[in-house]
């Protein structure tokens, strides 16, 4: 009965479309979103007709870069009882060179006659420089299509010309005009010649931005602080990511809804950002002797824990470098100590933060010093030199001399015990001769040796057995971890449960769009993991075929297909559906498949 109703509806639609085609004048027109653009701008051209056509042939577009197209779409509308339909072929172009250009007419055949559109004139002014050849985003699908008009990654840096060691900030943003079902990082940008520090900007926040007349959703996906480590021309390689895009395809589905509104398919896109070239200038000549490649706006302070102590007592001398710059790369400052002082490698304390403004904070070097003999000691001033890229000059900071008065030790045992950070935790000085113990010494004797006892032989024979058991157990764990498909299948219901929980929260918050999106992700995600179907191949036909192969009950399959159609209908068409009913159906279906597919 259901099949007969579908057939009758499709037949009526076909008759209606045929009557429309023969009952109106044939039109075939060309239009553009912008007649005046600049190099680097994206714009759209569209060829539209109100009848069925064949042998469509687009004009030559040699003067522009084709980012996408031809994208064919069919539209129907009812106004005041009158039905109209149209078919359009759309191209997304980028202007690559200046001048005035004419796009010739498109040609097609309709009702056995040749028809053609009008011509279009496009004026291109000076904008950004565009590299000739290749797509800007470098985004290719597995089938060779381009996504650069709807989805691309944009890379940028705060400065393209810096000094060696001067920090710059690289930012990667995602621009999209399509729905995303998933993403995966393929390869991070190679940073050869740079020292990098990742910026934690928290959860990505979506904003809106208009480019070439189109509104994009924009999100920051990565931001890093870079310090060039050598001079010359350096290049930041592209960032590579993979995205699953949800696209609506006209017709070809199994239901009336699919035939009329189209169906949603997951399409896989591989995206790359554009490489970035950085010019790195060397440091000026005549650098100070103590310059160790510190760059930025920095300051230095020296602090001494005490200026008067007894011999063999420890003091701390702290050198603190603070400010904004390449603090993580600053070398240990040197201090000239007298030979009477026992010194140790400094303890380094970092208090550095990395934000969108760059790297800032402080780095502290804590020297532990132990004078061994009394006297008046005067340490040379500590100097610290760095290069300031703002003034393009070297700067040197000099501390005051360090005066230390070492008093004579009183000779007590307490004064002669020194704690050090070496392998010997405690050194005792002045006790060259130890007294012999004269108290009664008690000895104990073991009447039973472990070697040769029954416990010894028990452990001796159990050891190989325990080794074999551990070896087998380890191999089983390795096999289980290597079975990615099996692990996904095992955890499929758990993953679906998370999405169902999110759907329930959206339902309670009365967020209808988020509810249906979570239900769809729960069903498709569960079925993809449970049935081992790649994300790019998750569609109703493949799911139904796979469920039949694993002998899932026909009623369960029908209920699943109906629920998916209900979700699609609710997301793309204004219909009245009980969300609670959809939630209950999705939960029941997942539980039913979990019982039937082991």
Q: Inter-axis angle of helices 454-482 and 484-508, to 10 degrees?
A: 70
Q: H or E segment at 169?
A: strand 168-176
Q: 1-131 in CATH: which number? A: 2.60.40.10
277 three-class SS: strand
Give Cα 575 distance to the centre of its chain. Answer: 37
Q: What is the residue-wise DSSP string for 337-406?
A: --TTEEE-PPEEEEEEEEETTEEEEEEEEEEEEEE-S-EEEEEPPPEEEEEETTTTEEEEEEPPPEEEEE
CATH number given to 484-596: 1.20.120
Region(s) of the chain under CATH 2.60.40.10:
1-131
* Residue 364: both structure tokens together: 């502290």
Q: What is the SS3 string spanning 542-556?
A: HHHHHHHHCCCCHHH
User: CA 137 to CA 186: how far, in whole Å?
Assistant: 15
Six-digit token pair at 256?
Answer: 């009336």
Asked if 30 contacts 105 with a C-beta cutoff of 8 angstroms, the reply is yes
Q: How is residue 415 written in tokens? A: 């004064």
Measure the CA–CA gap between 213 and 215, rounded to whole angstroms: 7
Please check whether residue 90 is in contact with residue 70, taking contact to mean a CB–CB distance below 8 angstroms: yes
Q: Which two tokens stand for residue 343?
A: 């010194």
User: Within the chain, which residue ranges are assigned CATH 1.20.120?
Assistant: 484-596
CA angle centred on 528, ends 575 and 552, rounded to 5°:
80
Architecture of domain 296-428: Sandwich (2.60)
Domain 135-282 adopts which CATH fold? Answer: Immunoglobulin-like (2.60.40)
CATH 2.60.120 range(s) for the chain read: 296-428
Neighbours of 538 (CB within 10 A): 20
Q: 56 by DSSP, 3-state: which?
A: strand
pLDDT in tens, the chain (598 residues): 444 444 445 444 544 444 444 445 788 899 998 999 988 788 889 998 888 777 788 888 888 887 776 777 766 555 555 556 678 888 888 888 899 999 999 988 888 788 889 999 999 998 776 655 433 333 333 333 345 578 889 999 999 999 999 999 999 999 998 888 778 888 888 788 888 888 887 777 889 988 777 888 999 988 999 999 889 999 988 888 888 887 765 554 455 444 444 566 777 888 888 889 999 999 999 899 889 889 999 999 999 999 999 988 999 999 999 999 999 888 888 888 888 888 888 898 989 998 888 899 999 999 999 998 899 999 999 999 999 999 999 999 999 999 999 998 875 444 444 433 333 444 445 555 555 555 666 666 555 566 677 777 888 788 888 888 888 877 777 665 555 455 566 666 677 787 788 888 888 888 877 888 788 888 888 888 888 777 656 677 778 888 888 888 888 888 888 888 777 666 655 555 678 888 888 888 888 888 887 6
């Amino acid at each position: 009965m259901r099949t007969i109703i579908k057939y009758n509806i499709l037949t009526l639609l076909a008759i209606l479309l045929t009557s429309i085609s023969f009952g109106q004048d044939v039109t075939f027109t060309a239009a553009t979103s912008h007649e005046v653009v600049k190099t680097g701008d994206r714009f759209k051209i569209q060829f539209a007709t109100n009848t069925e056509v064949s042998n469509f042939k687009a004009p030559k577009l040699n003067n522009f870069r084709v980012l996408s197209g031809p994208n064919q779409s069919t539209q129907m509308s009812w106004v005041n009882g009158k039905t109209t339909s149209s078919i359009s072929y759309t191209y997304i172009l980028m202007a690559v060179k200046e001048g005035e250009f004419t796009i010739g007419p498109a040609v097609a055949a309709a009702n056995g006659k040749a028809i053609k559109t009008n011509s279009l004139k496009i004026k291109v002014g000076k904008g950004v420089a565009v590299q000739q050849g290749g797509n800007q985003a470098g985004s290719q699908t597995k089938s060779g299509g381009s996504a650069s008009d709807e989805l691309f990654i944009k890379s940028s840096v705060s400065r393209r010309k810096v000094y060696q060691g001067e920090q710059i900030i690289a930012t990667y943003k995602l621009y999209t005009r399509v729905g995303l079902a998933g993403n995966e990082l393929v390869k991070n940008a190679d940073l050869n010649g740079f020292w990098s520090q990742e910026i934690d900007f928290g959860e990505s926040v979506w904003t809106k931005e208009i480019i070439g007349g189109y509104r994009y959703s924009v999100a920051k996906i990565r931001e890093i602080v870079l310090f060039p480590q050598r001079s010359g021309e350096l290049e930041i390689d592209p960032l590579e990511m993979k995205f699953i895009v949800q696209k609506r395809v006209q017709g070809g589905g199994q239901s009336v809804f699919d035939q009329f509104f189209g169906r949603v398919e997951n399409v896989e896109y591989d995206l790359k950002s554009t490489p970035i070239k950085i010019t790195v200038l060397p440091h000026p000549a005549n650098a100070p002797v103590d310059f160790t490649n510190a760059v930025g706006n920095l300051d230095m302070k020296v602090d001494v824990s005490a200026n008067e102590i007894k011999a063999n007592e420890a003091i701390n001398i702290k050198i603190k470098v603070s400010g904004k710059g390449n603090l993580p790369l600053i070398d240990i400052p040197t201090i000239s100590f007298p030979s009477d002082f026992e010194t140790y490698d400094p303890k380094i304390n970092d208090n550095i933060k990395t934000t969108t403004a760059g790297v800032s904070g402080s780095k502290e070097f804590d020297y532990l010093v132990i004078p061994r003999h009394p006297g008046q000691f005067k340490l040379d001033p500590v100097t610290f030199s760095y290069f300031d890229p703002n003034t393009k000059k070297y700067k040197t900071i000099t501390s005051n001399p360090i005066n230390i008065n070492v008093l004579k030790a009183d000779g007590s045992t307490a004064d002669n015990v020194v704690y050090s950070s070496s392998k010997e935790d405690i050194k005792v000085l002045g006790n060259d001769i130890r007294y012999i113990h004269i108290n009664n010494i008690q000895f104990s004797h073991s009447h039973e040796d472990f070697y040769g006892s029954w416990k010894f032989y028990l452990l001796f024979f159990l050891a190989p057995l325990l080794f074999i058991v551990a070896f087998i157990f380890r191999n089983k764990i390795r096999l289980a971890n290597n079975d990615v498909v099996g692990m996904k299948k095992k955890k499929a219901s758990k993953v679906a449960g998370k999405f169902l929980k999110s759907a329930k929260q959206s339902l309670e918050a009365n967020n209808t769009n988020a509810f249906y999106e979570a239900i769809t992700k729960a069903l498709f995600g569960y079925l993809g993991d449970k049935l081992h179907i790649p994300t790019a191949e998750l569609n109703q036909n493949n799911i139904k075929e796979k469920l039949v192969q694993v002998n899932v009950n026909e009623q369960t399959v029908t209920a699943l297909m109906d629920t998916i159609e209900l979700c699609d209908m609710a997301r793309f068409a204004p219909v009245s559906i009980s969300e609670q009913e959809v939630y209950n159906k999705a939960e029941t279906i997942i539980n039913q498949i979990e019982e039937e597919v082991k």
